[in-house]
């Protein structure tokens, strides 16, 4: 389903998520279309066709922040985010395991 044109065009995925064109992503993340395209080329975000999901926009902003604040390159910043997500997942699994052990005793 689409509405209007240009930056105001709204596209929804089959799952009900709002999708953003590269132009919209660049606007909302205060970057540029070529930089968004570079993110896609490097595999730092995974588009849905030629559109990005909200979580991709958040990732672009996070990577840009790590670049600005820590001086990391694009791939290094993406690796930091991936490791942080993996650590969070492992902590959640550990908490679930600990809860399971407590309920058994």
CB 17 within 8 A of CB 53: yes
Stated pTM of the model: 0.79
What CATH number should be reported for the domain whose range is 9-102?
1.10.1660.10
* Cα–Cα separations (whole angstroms), residue 9 to 19, 41, 42, 47, 52: 10, 24, 26, 17, 13
pLDDT value at position 9? 74
**How big is the CA angle at 12 (ends 4 and 85), to the nearest 5 degrees?**
130
For the chain, the distance separating the N- and C-terminal CA atoms, rounded to the nearest angstrom, is 53
pLDDT value at position 29? 97
pLDDT value at position 7? 63
pLDDT in 10s for each residue of the chain, 105 residues: 444 345 667 888 878 889 999 999 999 999 999 999 999 999 999 999 899 999 999 999 999 999 999 999 999 999 999 999 999 999 999 999 999 999 987
Q: Show Cβ contacts of residue 90 under 8 Å, excluding neighbours closer than 6 positions.
A: none
pLDDT value at position 2? 41
Domain residue spans of the chain? 9-102
């Amino acid at each position: 389903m689409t509405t209007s044109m240009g930056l105001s065009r709204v596209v929804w995925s089959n799952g009900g998520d709002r999708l953003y064109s590269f132009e919209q992503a660049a606007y909302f993340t205060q970057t540029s279309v070529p930089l968004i395209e570079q993110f896609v080329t490097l595999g730092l975000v995974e588009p849905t066709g030629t559109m990005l999901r909200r979580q991709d926009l958040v990732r672009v902003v996070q990577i840009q922040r790590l670049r600005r604040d820590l001086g990391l390159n694009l791939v290094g910043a993406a690796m930091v985010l991936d490791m942080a997500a993996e650590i969070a997942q492992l902590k959640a699994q550990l908490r679930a395991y600990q809860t399971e052990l407590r309920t058994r005793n």
